[in-house]
Amino acid sequence: MSQLKENQIFILAANSAAIKSVHENHLEYYEDRISNPAINKLVSYVSSTINNEIGATYGVSILHDHVIFGTDHTPKNAGVVFFLEASLDKKTTLEIIQKSRSLAIHIVQKMLPDGDLFQEQQAVPWLDPEKVEALDERQELFLTKWGNTKIPDGFSLIDAPENTPLLCVDSEFMTPEKRTTTSSSIDGAGLADGYSNSRNEAYILTIQESLQKTGDVRKFKVAHPDLLTIISEAAFKNMPVRFTATKTTDNTSQKSTYTLDTLMIDDKLLDTEGFELT
């Protein structure tokens, strides 16, 4: 059976009513008691990920506080309580708590060298493939900075101080796999198909493109914010564009990403076969 770690405990996504009960019986606030920088970074990472993927979906915030756990029957331990600030109906609250717990377990497991010996990788079936990919990218950024960092004394993830831990960790963060990439320049033309300011992305229906299949909407990261102004104008006016971009391919996964380097509206393309606009 998993044994509770002595120094750090996370209670995952208790609702506001539950946190009041826990506070009265088990804990007192003690700001910044957890001093290990890797643990504190993990707390921030778990919090931001839960709020990005679950809090945003439900329009709520899931907060956390540093605390001391302890009663006459339990030793005192430093820890963190995650809790739902809003008052929602029972069904929605339960959905948020269950998803938050499983997502936290999922992302912690994926950052450990050997995963968890006591259970399989926690599934998160409500996340679509695009969000899972974004989650993997966030994890890689985290591990690039904190990979192979020791976790003194480990920590436990629990849902109540008196319950058996959901997950116990006594390890270090895994070292991210060193990836090599290949880059090449491409150029082409197409129709503006929209953009996203928040994601810093532009979308182009490619009609002409060097060395690439055309006729698909391609997503580009944008190298300069001025390019978003151009793509928005082209989309509004329904005008074709010419572009140059950098294609970067991960040699391990063979996945490619595209960064838009230059972009211009070219109304002369309206006279080119394949650019008749309706």
Q: Which domains does the chain have, with CATH numbers?
A: 8-158 (no CATH), 181-265 (2.40.50.320)
Position 19 scores a pLDDT of: 67
Tokens of 60: 């709520």
CA angle at 59 for the pair 58 and 61, rounded to the nearest 5°: 100
pLDDT tens track for 12-44: 767 766 666 666 666 666 655 666 677 788 888
| β strands within 197-239, DSSP E | 201-209, 217-222
Residue 51 has pLDDT above 80, yes or no: yes
Neighbouring residues of 13: CB distance < 8 A, sequence distance ≥ 6:
50, 62, 82, 83, 84, 96, 97, 100, 101, 104
On whether the CB atoms of residues 235 and 194 are closer than 8 A, the answer is yes
Position 278 scores a pLDDT of: 40
pLDDT tens track for 155-185: 888 887 777 778 877 767 766 666 678 899 9
Strand order in the sheet with 27-29: 27-29, 62-71, 74-84, 8-15, 155-158, 167-169
Q: What are phi and psi of 202, to 5 degrees?
A: -125, 150
Q: Model-level pTM greater than 0.75? A: no
Q: C-alpha distances in angstroms, 248 versus 10, 120, 141, 211, 259? A: 39, 34, 17, 14, 8
Q: What is the mean pLDDT of residues 122-148?
A: 81
**Confidence class of residue 243 from pLDDT cuts 50, 70 and 90?**
very high
**Mean pLDDT lowest among 88-92, 117-121, 201-205:** 117-121
Q: What is the mean pLDDT of residues 58-78?
A: 75
Residues in the chain: 278
